[in-house]
Amino acid sequence: MRKQFGARASKADLEKYSLSNHWDGTKFDNLEVTTMDINFQNIPKLLYKQFCEKEGRAPQNKLPIKAFDKEAFLKPSVQTKFVWYGHSAVLLRMNGLTLFIDPMLGPNAAPIAPFPVKRFSDKTLNLIDGLPQIDLLLLSHDHYDHLDFESIQKLKPKVKHYFVALGVARHLVKWGIPKNDITEFDWWGNQSFNTIDITFTPTRHFSGRGLTDRAKSLWGGWAFKTVTENIWFSGDSGYGGHFKDIGTRLGPFDFAFMECGQYNKNWHQIHMYPEESVQAALDAGVTKIMPVHWAGFTLAQHSWTDPVDRFVKEAAKQQILFSNPVLGSLHTHHEEIRHRWWDKIT
Protein backbone atom coordinates (compact mmCIF):
# COMPACT_ATOMS: atom_id res chain seq x y z
CA MET A 1 0.00 0.00 0.00
CA ARG A 2 1.29 3.48 -0.87
CA LYS A 3 2.32 5.55 2.12
CA GLN A 4 -0.05 8.36 1.15
CA PHE A 5 -2.99 6.11 2.13
CA GLY A 6 -2.01 6.28 5.78
CA ALA A 7 -3.13 3.49 8.10
CA ARG A 8 -6.26 1.39 8.34
CA ALA A 9 -8.04 1.40 11.69
CA SER A 10 -6.86 -1.49 13.87
CA LYS A 11 -9.04 -3.43 16.31
CA ALA A 12 -7.60 -1.33 19.14
CA ASP A 13 -8.38 1.84 17.18
CA LEU A 14 -12.00 0.78 16.65
CA GLU A 15 -12.38 -0.01 20.34
CA LYS A 16 -11.13 3.49 21.17
CA TYR A 17 -13.48 5.12 18.64
CA SER A 18 -16.43 3.19 20.09
CA LEU A 19 -16.09 5.25 23.28
CA SER A 20 -17.18 8.34 21.34
CA ASN A 21 -20.84 9.36 21.45
CA HIS A 22 -20.56 9.99 17.71
CA TRP A 23 -19.61 6.41 16.78
CA ASP A 24 -22.55 4.32 15.56
CA GLY A 25 -20.83 0.96 15.88
CA THR A 26 -19.08 0.95 12.52
CA LYS A 27 -18.35 4.59 11.70
CA PHE A 28 -18.57 8.20 12.90
CA ASP A 29 -21.82 10.05 12.23
CA ASN A 30 -22.70 13.68 11.64
CA LEU A 31 -24.95 15.49 14.12
CA GLU A 32 -27.73 15.57 11.52
CA VAL A 33 -28.60 13.32 8.58
CA THR A 34 -26.07 13.99 5.82
CA THR A 35 -25.93 12.45 2.36
CA MET A 36 -24.16 12.97 -0.95
CA ASP A 37 -26.47 12.99 -3.97
CA ILE A 38 -24.20 10.89 -6.18
CA ASN A 39 -25.12 7.58 -7.82
CA PHE A 40 -23.34 5.30 -10.26
CA GLN A 41 -25.29 6.77 -13.17
CA ASN A 42 -23.96 10.30 -12.75
CA ILE A 43 -20.37 9.43 -11.76
CA PRO A 44 -19.10 9.31 -15.40
CA LYS A 45 -20.60 12.75 -16.05
CA LEU A 46 -19.03 14.17 -12.88
CA LEU A 47 -15.63 12.69 -13.74
CA TYR A 48 -15.82 14.14 -17.26
CA LYS A 49 -16.60 17.59 -15.90
CA GLN A 50 -13.86 17.32 -13.28
CA PHE A 51 -11.05 16.28 -15.60
CA CYS A 52 -12.12 17.52 -19.05
CA GLU A 53 -14.19 20.71 -18.67
CA LYS A 54 -11.48 22.90 -17.17
CA GLU A 55 -12.07 26.37 -18.57
CA GLY A 56 -12.11 29.00 -15.85
CA ARG A 57 -11.75 26.47 -13.06
CA ALA A 58 -8.06 27.19 -12.49
CA PRO A 59 -5.94 30.31 -13.05
CA GLN A 60 -4.09 30.31 -16.37
CA ASN A 61 -0.85 31.17 -14.58
CA LYS A 62 0.44 29.85 -11.27
CA LEU A 63 -0.60 31.88 -8.23
CA PRO A 64 2.37 33.64 -6.62
CA ILE A 65 3.00 33.35 -2.90
CA LYS A 66 4.74 36.16 -1.04
CA ALA A 67 8.09 35.31 0.53
CA PHE A 68 7.92 34.46 4.22
CA ASP A 69 9.32 37.13 6.55
CA LYS A 70 10.39 35.10 9.58
CA GLU A 71 11.61 38.11 11.54
CA ALA A 72 8.29 39.95 11.15
CA PHE A 73 6.32 36.80 11.92
CA LEU A 74 8.23 36.08 15.16
CA LYS A 75 8.35 39.71 16.33
CA PRO A 76 6.44 39.97 19.65
CA SER A 77 2.85 41.15 19.24
CA VAL A 78 -0.24 41.32 21.43
CA GLN A 79 -2.32 40.52 18.33
CA THR A 80 -2.46 37.16 16.57
CA LYS A 81 -0.69 37.13 13.21
CA PHE A 82 -1.48 34.78 10.35
CA VAL A 83 -0.27 33.71 6.92
CA TRP A 84 -2.58 31.91 4.49
CA TYR A 85 -1.01 29.64 1.88
CA GLY A 86 -4.13 28.87 -0.15
CA HIS A 87 -6.85 26.27 0.38
CA SER A 88 -6.98 25.65 4.17
CA ALA A 89 -3.30 25.96 5.15
CA VAL A 90 -3.06 28.68 7.83
CA LEU A 91 0.05 29.56 9.85
CA LEU A 92 -0.65 31.40 13.12
CA ARG A 93 1.51 33.27 15.61
CA MET A 94 -0.52 33.47 18.80
CA ASN A 95 0.64 34.37 22.32
CA GLY A 96 4.25 33.79 21.31
CA LEU A 97 3.50 30.33 19.85
CA THR A 98 3.53 29.14 16.25
CA LEU A 99 0.56 27.03 15.12
CA PHE A 100 -0.01 25.48 11.69
CA ILE A 101 -3.52 24.35 10.66
CA ASP A 102 -4.03 21.79 7.88
CA PRO A 103 -0.55 22.37 6.40
CA MET A 104 -1.16 20.62 3.08
CA LEU A 105 1.59 22.20 0.96
CA GLY A 106 2.00 19.34 -1.50
CA PRO A 107 1.59 19.76 -5.28
CA ASN A 108 -1.26 17.27 -5.74
CA ALA A 109 -4.57 16.91 -3.88
CA ALA A 110 -5.24 13.48 -5.44
CA PRO A 111 -1.94 11.61 -5.03
CA ILE A 112 -3.50 8.15 -5.33
CA ALA A 113 -5.85 8.95 -8.23
CA PRO A 114 -5.05 8.25 -11.90
CA PHE A 115 -5.37 11.98 -12.68
CA PRO A 116 -3.55 14.56 -10.52
CA VAL A 117 -5.29 17.58 -8.99
CA LYS A 118 -2.47 20.08 -9.28
CA ARG A 119 -1.98 23.01 -6.95
CA PHE A 120 -2.47 26.55 -8.26
CA SER A 121 0.98 27.53 -6.88
CA ASP A 122 4.40 26.04 -7.63
CA LYS A 123 7.00 24.50 -5.30
CA THR A 124 4.96 25.05 -2.15
CA LEU A 125 6.73 22.26 -0.26
CA ASN A 126 9.85 24.44 -0.37
CA LEU A 127 8.03 27.00 1.81
CA ILE A 128 8.55 24.68 4.76
CA ASP A 129 12.32 25.23 4.65
CA GLY A 130 11.93 28.86 5.74
CA LEU A 131 9.40 28.30 8.51
CA PRO A 132 10.28 28.54 12.20
CA GLN A 133 9.75 25.77 14.71
CA ILE A 134 6.07 24.75 14.87
CA ASP A 135 4.87 24.53 18.47
CA LEU A 136 1.58 22.92 17.46
CA LEU A 137 0.35 21.39 14.19
CA LEU A 138 -3.43 20.90 13.95
CA LEU A 139 -5.34 18.63 11.54
CA SER A 140 -9.09 19.06 11.01
CA HIS A 141 -9.58 15.72 9.19
CA ASP A 142 -7.77 13.21 7.01
CA HIS A 143 -8.80 14.12 3.45
CA TYR A 144 -5.89 14.47 1.02
CA ASP A 145 -6.42 18.21 0.50
CA HIS A 146 -5.82 18.71 4.25
CA LEU A 147 -3.47 15.91 5.28
CA ASP A 148 -0.51 15.27 2.97
CA PHE A 149 2.23 12.69 3.49
CA GLU A 150 4.98 14.76 1.84
CA SER A 151 4.12 17.87 3.85
CA ILE A 152 4.07 15.95 7.14
CA GLN A 153 7.44 14.35 6.36
CA LYS A 154 9.07 17.67 5.59
CA LEU A 155 7.49 19.38 8.62
CA LYS A 156 8.34 16.56 11.02
CA PRO A 157 11.72 17.97 12.24
CA LYS A 158 10.09 21.33 13.02
CA VAL A 159 6.96 20.17 14.90
CA LYS A 160 6.79 19.81 18.70
CA HIS A 161 3.23 18.50 19.07
CA TYR A 162 0.10 17.58 17.08
CA PHE A 163 -3.59 18.16 17.85
CA VAL A 164 -5.75 16.06 15.49
CA ALA A 165 -9.28 14.84 14.94
CA LEU A 166 -10.06 11.52 16.60
CA GLY A 167 -8.81 8.75 14.31
CA VAL A 168 -6.18 10.77 12.45
CA ALA A 169 -3.34 9.78 14.78
CA ARG A 170 -3.03 6.35 13.19
CA HIS A 171 -1.89 7.92 9.90
CA LEU A 172 0.76 10.04 11.61
CA VAL A 173 2.05 7.11 13.65
CA LYS A 174 2.44 5.05 10.47
CA TRP A 175 4.39 7.97 8.98
CA GLY A 176 6.86 7.98 11.87
CA ILE A 177 5.38 10.53 14.29
CA PRO A 178 5.79 9.38 17.93
CA LYS A 179 2.42 8.52 19.46
CA ASN A 180 3.22 10.60 22.56
CA ASP A 181 3.53 13.70 20.38
CA ILE A 182 -0.10 13.43 19.24
CA THR A 183 -3.32 14.38 21.04
CA GLU A 184 -6.65 13.28 19.50
CA PHE A 185 -9.92 15.18 19.96
CA ASP A 186 -13.57 14.22 19.89
CA TRP A 187 -16.09 16.99 19.17
CA TRP A 188 -16.11 19.59 21.95
CA GLY A 189 -12.87 18.16 23.28
CA ASN A 190 -10.90 20.92 24.98
CA GLN A 191 -7.32 21.33 26.13
CA SER A 192 -5.05 24.18 27.15
CA PHE A 193 -1.87 24.48 25.13
CA ASN A 194 0.40 26.79 27.05
CA THR A 195 -1.70 30.01 27.20
CA ILE A 196 -4.22 29.04 24.48
CA ASP A 197 -7.49 27.26 25.22
CA ILE A 198 -8.26 25.02 22.20
CA THR A 199 -11.55 23.27 21.39
CA PHE A 200 -12.34 20.86 18.56
CA THR A 201 -15.67 21.97 17.08
CA PRO A 202 -18.14 19.80 15.11
CA THR A 203 -18.70 20.10 11.38
CA ARG A 204 -21.00 18.42 8.86
CA HIS A 205 -18.63 16.49 6.63
CA PHE A 206 -16.94 13.08 6.39
CA SER A 207 -13.47 11.52 6.27
CA GLY A 208 -11.45 8.78 4.60
CA ARG A 209 -8.42 8.20 2.41
CA GLY A 210 -9.50 5.01 0.64
CA LEU A 211 -12.45 2.81 -0.25
CA THR A 212 -12.58 1.02 3.11
CA ASP A 213 -12.03 3.75 5.71
CA ARG A 214 -14.86 6.21 5.08
CA ALA A 215 -15.89 7.92 8.34
CA LYS A 216 -13.34 5.91 10.36
CA SER A 217 -11.98 9.18 11.75
CA LEU A 218 -13.66 12.43 12.80
CA TRP A 219 -13.78 15.82 11.07
CA GLY A 220 -14.13 19.28 12.59
CA GLY A 221 -12.82 22.79 13.20
CA TRP A 222 -10.70 24.50 15.86
CA ALA A 223 -11.47 27.33 18.29
CA PHE A 224 -8.58 29.25 19.92
CA LYS A 225 -9.20 31.40 22.97
CA THR A 226 -6.74 33.54 24.92
CA VAL A 227 -7.26 36.21 27.56
CA THR A 228 -7.67 38.83 24.82
CA GLU A 229 -8.75 37.01 21.62
CA ASN A 230 -11.17 34.37 20.34
CA ILE A 231 -10.44 32.94 16.88
CA TRP A 232 -12.13 30.11 14.99
CA PHE A 233 -11.18 27.89 12.06
CA SER A 234 -14.51 26.52 10.82
CA GLY A 235 -13.25 23.38 9.07
CA ASP A 236 -14.93 21.74 6.07
CA SER A 237 -18.68 21.64 6.56
CA GLY A 238 -22.11 21.73 5.10
CA TYR A 239 -24.50 24.23 6.64
CA GLY A 240 -26.27 23.08 9.79
CA GLY A 241 -27.47 23.84 13.28
CA HIS A 242 -24.05 23.18 14.79
CA PHE A 243 -22.90 26.69 13.89
CA LYS A 244 -25.33 28.34 16.31
CA ASP A 245 -24.33 25.78 18.92
CA ILE A 246 -20.65 26.67 18.46
CA GLY A 247 -21.48 30.34 18.88
CA THR A 248 -23.54 29.67 21.99
CA ARG A 249 -20.87 27.52 23.62
CA LEU A 250 -17.68 29.25 22.53
CA GLY A 251 -18.50 32.59 20.90
CA PRO A 252 -18.59 35.36 20.14
CA PHE A 253 -15.47 35.23 17.95
CA ASP A 254 -13.23 38.11 16.93
CA PHE A 255 -12.23 36.44 13.66
CA ALA A 256 -12.92 33.25 11.72
CA PHE A 257 -11.38 31.39 8.80
CA MET A 258 -14.53 30.18 7.02
CA GLU A 259 -14.67 27.22 4.65
CA CYS A 260 -15.70 28.54 1.23
CA GLY A 261 -15.09 26.55 -1.93
CA GLN A 262 -15.31 23.13 -3.62
CA TYR A 263 -19.12 23.07 -3.41
CA ASN A 264 -21.55 21.40 -5.77
CA LYS A 265 -25.28 20.61 -5.70
CA ASN A 266 -24.40 16.90 -5.59
CA TRP A 267 -22.52 17.28 -2.30
CA HIS A 268 -24.17 20.40 -0.93
CA GLN A 269 -24.66 18.88 2.52
CA ILE A 270 -20.88 18.57 3.11
CA HIS A 271 -19.64 21.85 1.57
CA MET A 272 -21.40 25.19 1.97
CA TYR A 273 -22.21 27.63 -0.76
CA PRO A 274 -20.42 30.99 -0.13
CA GLU A 275 -23.63 32.64 1.06
CA GLU A 276 -24.02 29.89 3.64
CA SER A 277 -20.43 30.38 4.79
CA VAL A 278 -21.26 33.97 5.64
CA GLN A 279 -24.47 32.93 7.37
CA ALA A 280 -22.62 30.26 9.35
CA ALA A 281 -20.27 32.95 10.65
CA LEU A 282 -23.22 35.12 11.63
CA ASP A 283 -24.80 32.13 13.38
CA ALA A 284 -21.60 31.60 15.39
CA GLY A 285 -21.29 35.26 16.35
CA VAL A 286 -18.17 36.16 14.36
CA THR A 287 -17.11 39.81 14.00
CA LYS A 288 -14.78 39.46 11.00
CA ILE A 289 -14.42 36.66 8.46
CA MET A 290 -12.04 35.39 5.81
CA PRO A 291 -12.78 32.76 3.12
CA VAL A 292 -10.47 29.74 2.93
CA HIS A 293 -10.68 26.38 1.10
CA TRP A 294 -10.18 28.13 -2.23
CA ALA A 295 -7.18 29.36 -4.32
CA GLY A 296 -5.46 26.01 -3.96
CA PHE A 297 -7.03 23.28 -6.05
CA THR A 298 -9.84 22.51 -8.49
CA LEU A 299 -12.03 20.05 -6.58
CA ALA A 300 -15.45 21.12 -7.89
CA GLN A 301 -17.02 22.45 -11.10
CA HIS A 302 -17.25 26.14 -10.18
CA SER A 303 -14.72 28.72 -11.43
CA TRP A 304 -11.70 29.23 -9.20
CA THR A 305 -12.83 32.76 -8.21
CA ASP A 306 -16.52 32.00 -7.70
CA PRO A 307 -16.10 31.26 -3.97
CA VAL A 308 -14.45 34.56 -3.09
CA ASP A 309 -16.60 36.66 -5.43
CA ARG A 310 -19.81 35.34 -3.90
CA PHE A 311 -18.41 35.44 -0.36
CA VAL A 312 -17.39 39.11 -0.67
CA LYS A 313 -20.74 40.06 -2.18
CA GLU A 314 -22.68 38.32 0.59
CA ALA A 315 -20.47 39.68 3.37
CA ALA A 316 -21.03 43.22 2.09
CA LYS A 317 -24.77 42.56 1.87
CA GLN A 318 -24.86 41.24 5.44
CA GLN A 319 -22.60 44.09 6.62
CA ILE A 320 -20.05 41.80 8.23
CA LEU A 321 -16.36 42.71 8.15
CA PHE A 322 -14.16 40.55 5.94
CA SER A 323 -10.58 40.25 4.67
CA ASN A 324 -9.04 38.93 1.42
CA PRO A 325 -5.27 38.60 1.95
CA VAL A 326 -2.77 37.75 -0.77
CA LEU A 327 -1.27 34.27 -0.53
CA GLY A 328 1.72 34.27 1.81
CA SER A 329 1.12 37.78 3.18
CA LEU A 330 1.44 38.44 6.91
CA HIS A 331 -1.45 40.12 8.71
CA THR A 332 -3.25 40.43 12.03
CA HIS A 333 -6.95 39.75 12.24
CA HIS A 334 -7.49 43.40 13.20
CA GLU A 335 -6.56 44.49 9.68
CA GLU A 336 -9.28 44.82 7.06
CA ILE A 337 -7.86 43.66 3.72
CA ARG A 338 -10.13 44.48 0.79
CA HIS A 339 -7.68 44.05 -2.09
CA ARG A 340 -9.28 42.09 -4.98
CA TRP A 341 -5.96 40.57 -5.98
CA TRP A 342 -7.55 37.64 -7.85
CA ASP A 343 -9.00 40.02 -10.46
CA LYS A 344 -5.45 40.74 -11.62
CA ILE A 345 -4.58 37.05 -12.10
CA THR A 346 -4.89 35.74 -15.67
pLDDT surpasses 80 at 51:
no
At residue 338 the predicted structure's pLDDT band, cuts being 50, 70 and 90, is: confident
pTM (two decimals): 0.96
* 286-335 tens-digit pLDDT: 999 999 999 999 999 999 999 999 999 999 999 999 999 999 999 999 99
Distance CA 249, CA 272 (A): 22
* 70-106 tens-digit pLDDT: 999 999 999 999 999 999 999 999 999 999 999 999 9
pLDDT attached to residue 39: 54
Domain count, the chain: 1
Residue-averaged pLDDT of the chain: 95
Q: What is the DSSP-derived secondary structure letter of residue 229?
A: -
Domain encompassing residue 60: 3-344
The alpha carbon of 256 is separated from its chain's Cα centroid by a whole number of angstroms, namely: 12
Residue 88 φ then ψ, to 5°: -115, 15
- The CATH number of residue 311's host domain is 3.60.15.10
pLDDT surpasses 70 at 258:
yes
Q: Is 203 exposed, middle or buried (0-12, 13-18, 19+ CB in 10 A)?
A: buried
Contact status, residue 194 vs residue 168, Cβ threshold 8 Å: no
